């Protein structure tokens, strides 16, 4: 390592983007440190037979920003793909996000104007619906949809009552008065054909980027860090809240699902959702490999730190750490923001820009 090498911790999408942008836009060298045995962070993948396994649940890259779509397409071919999700409720599968297919399946209503009338009657009125997750959800969809599809899922996913959570989390899900089961509405949407780990390997494949795997980074003074700020500073101001995920893998002779993801909002089962990996593009494969996803409040072996819990208290604590740090923390964990993959890349681009401007 040379004295003016830039040290980046974490080879997920943000860390890889920082490294890639630095060598593209400056003459500096980058040392990219990753604690796991492969690059890709939370969207890491493993090729298996004719399919690609998503190690930490299904990841579909989607964005409204052409610049970000063009950027990822530089590093691998993408399969055009729009996420399809069902919810398993009362032993039936319903379409998500809420759209005319859901309203027909649930209420037998096929005309949008009738669904609009029914929804309008169901919505609960609050003076300030943005107060928390629950008031926001009830104000958008009403009690029936909230209880059937949202309350239990959210309680399992976040480990608390939904009213303790911020409203923006439920605003991630669109509500459509037309027939469209695409989980997201973004203009550009796809999955890298060879998987995200290969995509990230291509991003950092450069003579001036050195990648070190299986290293926790404790021996380095980082310039950019994409991991948890509280852990880095040994929790000196207290612990930030995160949700951790674990996955149980199973292989079946036959396809039981026919779709890439099924959510389980019922509190009678512990997992939040399953992913049927072949339906992330290779629908005709005979590999029926399914991962069951569980959400937890603490780290343990085999779990990944996945979501910041953005309550006002946690956000304030994060700001305290951040204001006393001379290291640039970024990415989903490092910036303590619930961002999607495209925004993780954007954070990486903006962060690398800081270096370019300041050196
Ligand atoms: N959600 C829910 N039921 C579902 C799917 C989502 O209640 O079937 C809520 C839940 O609180 C979740 C949030 O909507 O955390 C955002 O969902 P999204 O699918 O965007 O979550 P992610 O894929 O990022 O975990």
Q: What is the pLDDT of residues 272-330, one digit of tens each?
A: 999 999 999 999 999 999 999 999 999 999 999 999 999 999 999 999 999 999 999 99
All structural domains of the chain, each given as residue ranges with its CATH number in brackets, are 1-39+204-239+309-359 (3.40.50.720), 85-172 (no CATH)
Q: How far is the CA of 96 from the centre of ligand 1 (A)?
A: 10
| Token pair recorded at residue 236 | 């000196």
User: pLDDT digit string (tens) for 138-156?
Assistant: 999 999 999 999 999 999 9
Q: Does the Cβ of 150 fall within 6 Å of ligand 1?
A: yes
- Give the predicted TM-score (pTM) of the model: 0.96
Q: How confident is the model at residue 51 (pLDDT cuts 50, 70, 90)?
A: very high
14 lines ligand 1 (CB under 6 A): no
Q: Which ligand 1 atom is nearest residue 149's CA?
A: 3
Centre of ligand 1 from the C-alpha of residue 354, in Å: 33
Q: Which two tokens stand for residue 295?
A: 């959400």
Please, is 113 exposed, middle or buried when counting C-beta atoms within 10 Å of its C-beta (0-12, 13-18, 19+)?
Answer: exposed
Q: Are 224 and 287 in contact (CB under 8 A)?
A: no
Q: Helix (H, G, I), strand (E, B), or coil: what is residue 132?
A: coil
- With a 6 Å cutoff on the Cβ, whether 95 touches ligand 1 is no
Angstrom CA distances, 216 to 200, 209, 225, stand at: 19, 18, 11
Ligand 1 atom, smallest distance to 170 CA: 14
Position 341 scores a pLDDT of 98
């Amino acid at each position: 390592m040379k004295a003016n090498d830039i040290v980046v911790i974490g080879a997920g999408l943000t860390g890889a983007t920082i490294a890639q942008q630095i060598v593209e836009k400056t003459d500096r060298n980058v040392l990219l440190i990753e604690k796991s045995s492969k690059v890709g962070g939370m969207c890491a993948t493993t090729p298996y037979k004719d399919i690609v396994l998503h190690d930490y649940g299904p990841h579909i890259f989607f964005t409204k920003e052409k610049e970000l779509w063009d950027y990822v397409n530089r590093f691998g071919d993408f399969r055009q793909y729009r996420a399809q999700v069902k919810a398993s409720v009362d032993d039936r599968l319903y379409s998500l996000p809420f759209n005319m297919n859901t309203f027909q399946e649930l209420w037998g209503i096929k005309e949008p104007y009738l669904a609009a009338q029914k929804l309008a009657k169901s919505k609960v009125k609050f003076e300030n619906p943005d107060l928390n997750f629950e008031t926001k959800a009830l104000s958008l969809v009403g009690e029936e949809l909230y209880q059937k599809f949202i309350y239990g899922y959210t309680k399992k996913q976040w480990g608390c009552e939904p009213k303790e959570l911020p409203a923006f989390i439920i605003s991630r899900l669109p509500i459509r008065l037309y027939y469209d089961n695409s989980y997201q509405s973004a203009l550009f949407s796809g999955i890298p054909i060879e998987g995200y780990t290969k995509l990230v390997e291509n991003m950092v494949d450069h003579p001036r980027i050195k990648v070190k795997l299986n290293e926790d980074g404790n021996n380095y003074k980082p310039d950019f860090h994409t991991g948890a700020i509280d852990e880095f500073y040994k929790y000196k101001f207290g612990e930030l809240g995160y949700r951790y995920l674990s996955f149980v893998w199973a292989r079946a002779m036959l396809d039981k699902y026919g779709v890439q993801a099924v959510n389980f909002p019922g509190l009678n089962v512990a997992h939040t959702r399953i992913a049927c990996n072949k339906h992330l593009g290779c629908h005709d494969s005979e590999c029926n490999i399914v991962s069951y996803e569980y959400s937890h409040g603490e780290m343990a072996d085999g779990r990944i730190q996945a979501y910041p819990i953005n309550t006002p208290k946690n956000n304030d604590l994060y700001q305290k750490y951040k204001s006393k740090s001379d290291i640039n923390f970024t990415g989903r964990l490092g910036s303590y923001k619930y961002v999607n993959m495209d925004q993780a890349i954007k954070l990486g681009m903006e962060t690398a820009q800081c270096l370019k401007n300041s050196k």
